[in-house]
Amino acid sequence: MTKTRKMPVPDDPGACQPESPQPPPQRLRLEWIEAGGLADNVCNWRRHPEEQLQSIRELLEDPEVGWAGVCLFNERTGRLIDGHARKSVVDPATPIPVLIGSWSEEAERKILATFDPVSAMARGDAAAYQALVESVNADGLWVRDLIQGTMRDLDRQATDDGDGGDAGAADSPSPMLAAMECQPFEHHDFVMLIFRNDQDFQAACEKLAIKRIAITYPGGKQKIGLGRVIDGARAIRILEERGTRP
């Protein structure tokens, strides 16, 4: 005969029921806070150049983009962890989206030391980025410059990784503006020549071998005209070669 083992009956019948899993503690919450009410972090090691601030401002003012991200604030220390640049380009009275959490001083420093570097570890795919920006309508000069700079960085990365192309590929024009010798809106030292009549202008174009080209900007917009952005070293070589001809 098979004996059946009986389980003891507890005094409290509910004691045999498995405990319901406790939800994890709520670490973050989203609030809209006036920018001027967020204290900067004295340990912030990022320095934001004017080009970056202008690009951020342009995107925030874009009605199709606006605030597509949030700042990060530690309510335990009363200091900002991420978002210093975004906070700095708006009016202090402007409410901005902020993720609020609570961390110790040590954890705050660890987040500051790793937050951006972890993101920077990602590798970019130049072809995928090219396909992406071809469908982007980048009207603003600073955002357009940001896109062009990213393309150049991806080209250099591919060259450094040995993924093809010669050593000079990183200095070649972006495929988006292949006809231009220098990408417009780059930050270069430059000389501007002003011509007060068409004859002088045409003569300079002839001497510098400037031809009419078509430019396609991100988003598919095209401009057709004379390519006035040329490489300075090449211009000097052309003038020297033509100056030595009999």
CA neighbor of 83 nearest in space, from 72, 74, 93: 72
- pTM, rounded to two decimals: 0.58
d(CA 98, CA 66): 14
Residue extents of the structural domains in the chain? 29-120, 126-244
Domain 29-120 class, CATH top level:
alpha beta
Cα 84 from Cα 48, distance rounded (Å): 9
**Cross-strand pairs, 98:** 31, 71
- For 165-220, the pLDDT digits (tens) are 444 444 444 444 444 445 555 556 677 777 777 778 778 888 887 776 665 555 55
Tens-digit pLDDT profile for residues 102-155: 999 999 999 999 999 998 898 899 889 988 988 888 777 788 888 888 888 888
